[in-house]
Amino acid sequence: MRTTLALDDDLLAKAQSLTGISEKTALLLEALRALNKTVRLE
């Protein structure tokens, strides 16, 4: 599914630096997976 997002440039750059994931789609997918995992553990 395609969508348009307004992302904070600084937050995006920090997440890319921390993960080593430079491609935005891959980065957002990883973030969503991590969120789902975290929520399931609570």
In a domain, 32, yes or no: yes
In a domain, 13, yes or no: yes
In a domain, 15, yes or no: yes
Give the per-residue pLDDT at 26. Answer: 97
Give the per-residue pLDDT at 41. Answer: 78
Tell me the whole-structure pTM to 2 decimals.
0.81
Alpha-carbon torsion angle 6, 27, 31, 7, nearest 10: -10
In a domain, 36, yes or no: yes
Give the per-residue pLDDT at 42. Answer: 72
In a domain, 20, yes or no: yes
Domain extent for 19: 9-41
Q: How far apart are CA 42 and CA 7, in angstroms?
A: 27
In a domain, 1, yes or no: no
Give the per-residue pLDDT at 36. Answer: 94
pLDDT digits (tens, 9 = 90+) for 5-42: 999 999 999 999 999 999 999 999 999 999 999 998 77
Tally the domains of the chain.
1
